[in-house]
């Protein structure tokens, strides 16, 4: 029986259990490398499939704050967040045990090798972006912890059986922080997705996640990575290119051509406009995630 809570007093999963579940962390069971360490697929005795993340950071067993926060994060439940089943702490090993998601990451679905690339149709892409927005709105505004993710990107968005988006690695990045608004000494994020104020000055607020969400939304609509793109690859990122297309009144040119005619033009343009608001260089001018959710649903007018 998988317990859905975290009891750090009794220990939750033992290292032995995790070794058995992953066949001794067999290379064949390795799902990949995440920002915080290797991820393995495993099966518990009751048949539950899990993803075990081996945290690469040095010993944290003495870090009470880390454990406290971990137990709170395990309590966070939202349909658009990857469920943390628990953890295993033994010696200086720290493993996080997550639900296993069948469809890999959004990155693989959009840009992976041919065999793992799934053709995401327009309604699915919309559902994915809305899901990420809802998950972030929950982390920022509704959860008791008010978490800033700090590393939103397509590899940190996992897809379940029905291609619903689930955010992974939330809470990992800010264990040593006290406030959501501060000057961070250690900038942890991914170039290309990082808000400029965070990348340049380490100034971190939840608006940094809003920026990263905007980039992910642009990548999802365009079916293109946020790297040099555009005529003669002049543009450093998709966002720059989108701004130019917006000025030319030609935002549709950004939409993934492989979507063919099966998308709604109005919805696609709305999504790009929302993404452009999110990637505004000035954090104060970016909407918050619950506003983004409303705009994506077409419930609120998207300011030009």
CB of 104 to ligand ACK, least distance (A): 4
- Three-class HEC string of 260-277: CCCCCHHHHHHHHHHHHH
Burial class (CB in 10 A: 0-12, 13-18, 19+), 225: middle
Nearer Cβ to ligand ACK (33/179): 33
Name residues contacting ligand ACK, limited to 46-65 (CB under 6 A).
Answer: 51
Give yes or no for a contact between 218 and 275, defined as CB atoms under 8 angstroms apart.
yes
* 41 φ/ψ sector (left φ>0, alpha ψ -120 to 50, else beta): beta
Q: How is residue 268 written in tokens?
A: 């696609």
Assign 99 to helix, strand or coil. Answer: strand
Q: By CB under 6 A, is residue 33 in contact with ligand ACK?
A: yes
When binding is defined by CB under 6 A, the residue of 78, 108, 150, 174 that contacts ligand ACK is: 108
Pair 219, 154: CB distance under 8 Å: yes
Query: Does position 98 bind ligand ACK by CB under 6 A?
Result: yes
Judge whether 162 counts as a catalytic residue. Answer: no
The answer to whether 39 contacts ligand ACK (rule: CB under 6 A) is yes
Is residue 234 a contact residue for ligand ACK (CB under 6 A)? Answer: no
- DSSP 8-state symbol, 235: B
Q: Does 104 bind ligand ACK (CB under 6 A)?
A: yes
Token reading at 73 = 């994060």
Q: Which of residues 254-273 bind ligand ACK (CB under 6 A)?
A: none
Is residue 6 within the footprint of ligand ACK (CB under 6 A)?
no
Confirm whether residue 265 is marked as ligand binding: no
Catalytic residues: 151
Residues binding ligand ACK (CB under 6 A): 31-34, 39, 51, 82, 98-101, 104-105, 107-108, 158, 168
């Amino acid at each position: 029986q998988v317990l859905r809570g975290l009891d750090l007093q009794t220990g939750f999963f033992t290292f032995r259990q995790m070794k058995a579940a992953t066949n001794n962390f067999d290379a064949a069971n390795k799902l990949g490398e995440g920002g915080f360490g290797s991820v393995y697929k495993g099966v518990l005795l009751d048949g539950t499939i899990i993803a075990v993340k081996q945290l690469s950071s040095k010993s944290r067993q003495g870090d009470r704050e880390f454990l406290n926060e971990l137990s709170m994060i395990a309590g966070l439940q939202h349909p658009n967040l990857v469920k943390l089943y628990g953890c295993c702490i033994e010696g200086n090993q720290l493993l996080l045990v997550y639900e296993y998601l069948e469809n890999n990451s959004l990155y693989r679905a959009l840009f992976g090798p041919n065999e793992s690339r799934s053709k995401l149709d327009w309604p699915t892409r919309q559902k994915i972006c809305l899901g990420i927005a809802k998950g972030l709105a929950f982390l920022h505004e509704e959860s008791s912890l008010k978490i800033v993710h700090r590393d939103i990107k397509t590899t940190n968005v996992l897809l379940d059986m029905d291609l619903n988006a689930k955010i992974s690695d939330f809470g990992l990045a800010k264990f040593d922080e006290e406030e959501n608004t501060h000057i961070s000494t250690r900038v942890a994020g991914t170039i290309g997705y990082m808000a400029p104020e965070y990348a340049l000055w380490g100034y971190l607020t939840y608006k940094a996640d809003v920026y990263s969400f905007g980039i992910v939304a642009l990548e999802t609509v365009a079916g293109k990575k946020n790297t040099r793109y555009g005529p003669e690859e002049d543009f450093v990122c998709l966002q720059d290119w989108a701004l130019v297309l917006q000025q030319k009144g030609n935002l549709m040119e950004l939409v993934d051509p492989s979507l063919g005619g099966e998308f709604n033009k109005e919805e696609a343009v709305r999504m790009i406009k929302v993404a452009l608001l999110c990637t505004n260089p000035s954090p104060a001018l970016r909407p918050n995630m619950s506003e983004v959710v409303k705009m994506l649903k077409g419930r609120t007018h998207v300011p030009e």
